[in-house]
Amino acid sequence: MTGTLEQNLAQAPGRPRLIAPVHWLVSPRVDLCWILGSVAVAYLMFTAWQLGWASPAVLTAVWIFGFHGPHFWGTVSRTYLDSEERRKRGRLLSGSLLWFLLGPIMVGASLLLEPVTGSRGIEMLFLMFAAVWAYHHVVKQHFGFMALYRAKAQEFGRGEFLFHKWYLIVSLWLPAVIVLANNHHWLLGIPWLHSLRAWLGDSFIIAAGANTALVCTAGFVVLQVLFATHLIWRAARGRGVNLAETLLVLASVPLHWFVLASLFEASPNALDNFMFVPILTIYHNIQYHGLIWHYNTRRYRIDPNPGRHGLAVPLNRTLLRYAICGVLFAVIASGLGHYTSALFTRPWAPLFVGLTWGFAFVHYYLDSKIWHVRQDKNLRSALGFPEPSTP
């Protein structure tokens, strides 16, 4: 047998057990408030939108300045403003700034070629890339928390890990694919379909989209049955269900389905068609704030030499100070890009939008690099993870 004694015992058949010993990421109160229970804020925003308690414009502004932009600040304060992180990850941090060039280059090329091509296809391609990466970033964060909960419970079995990983990622992506396939104006607006529209015809593409939506719906149902069956199998084998991980699934998967299902048919109001963005992302934002604040508390308050972290220490000393800095940063990172059309005229507006997407790209890219607890001893210490056992 390989692996730790705890792993081998956990995988061995035993008496049926419904729930395994619970391993919270921080504590029951923090996890249920910030990481799991904060999904209630997304449902509240969804309800406010559906019942007309607030307009989409107001809800979007609350999201941008109160939650979304400030969560970019969390990454900046944890990396660029931390002297120790700059010393350790200098090449990564400086190289990440190149993402600011992608938008201006692609949008600029699109504007230059527009008189020749008669369209701004490269700009459309850039915006589609940005939208796909933004959604996938939310999906990957939910998986990241799943991985953290599994690591906290010392569940390192590769087969089960891969099944849970792809179950979650595919379950969160399928509703988005259904929305795209069902909404004709979005489906026909995909850049690479423009050349096919004249050849295949719009009706063929629309029918193909409808069939794709049906297949994805069936796939989603099958995935949920498989996952539920696997949980029953775990309980029957005596391993019990990983409660924290399962609560994360129950928070994220139904949210994505219910919110995106409300958009399976396009709304006459263009802004309504994009309301899934703030609703789904606000849960992701609050999760991230909870993780960052836990990291800040342990990293900067208990460090015997906090001065080595530079500005990250005074700017994160209190939750209020962190929040104020986050809102101010949101005005730059998200607000200017969102309201650019009112501030600039063509061609500067699309170029500036492309530039401000760089804040999001840097955040997405760095987040994929800086939260690997198994490779980062300092991160394990800051998050309160035990050192990995030696087989």
Query: What digits encode the pLDDT tens for the residues 113-139?
Result: 888 877 777 888 898 899 999 999 999
Cβ 60 vs Cβ 49: under 8 Å = no
Beta bridge partners of 84: none
- Percent of all residues in the chain with a pLDDT value above 70, rounded to a whole number: 84
pLDDT at 250: 97
Domain residue ranges of the chain, discontinuous segments joined by +: 30-160+239-251+271-371
d(CA 173, CA 223): 12
Q: At 345, is the pLDDT very low, low, confident or very high (cuts 50, 70, 90)? A: low
Per-residue b or e along 15-37, where b marks 16 or more CB atoms closer than 10 Å to that residue's CB? eeeeebebbbbbeeebbeebbbe
Higher pLDDT, 291 or 11: 291
Q: Would you call the peptide bond into 347 cis, given omega within 30 degrees of 0 as the criterion? A: yes
d(CA 239, CA 13): 8
d(CA 69, CA 359): 9
Question: pLDDT tens, 42-70?
Answer: 999 999 998 999 998 899 999 999 999 99
- Terminal Cα-to-Cα distance of the chain (whole angstroms): 10
Is the predicted pLDDT of residue 191 greater than 60, yes or no? yes
Is the predicted pLDDT of residue 76 greater than 70, yes or no? yes
Q: What is the mean pLDDT of residues 266-290?
A: 83
Q: Report the 10 Å Cβ neighbour count for 349.
A: 15
**Which residue is associated with the tokens 């990957």?**
140
d(CA 15, CA 3): 22
Question: pLDDT tens, 93-117?
Answer: 999 999 999 999 999 998 888 888 7
pLDDT at 261: 86
Q: Which is nearest to 357 in space by CA: 70, 186, 129?
A: 129
Instruction: Please provide the average confidence, as pLDDT, over all residues in the chain.
Output: 85
pLDDT at 189: 66
pTM assigned to the model: 0.88
Q: Report the 10 Å Cβ neighbour count for 166.
A: 12
Q: Would you report the helix, strand and coil content of the chain in percent, each value rounded to 5?
A: 75, 0, 25
Q: Which is nearest to 254 in space by CA: 292, 224, 289?
A: 224
3-state secondary structure of 385: coil
Beta bridge partners of 241: 19
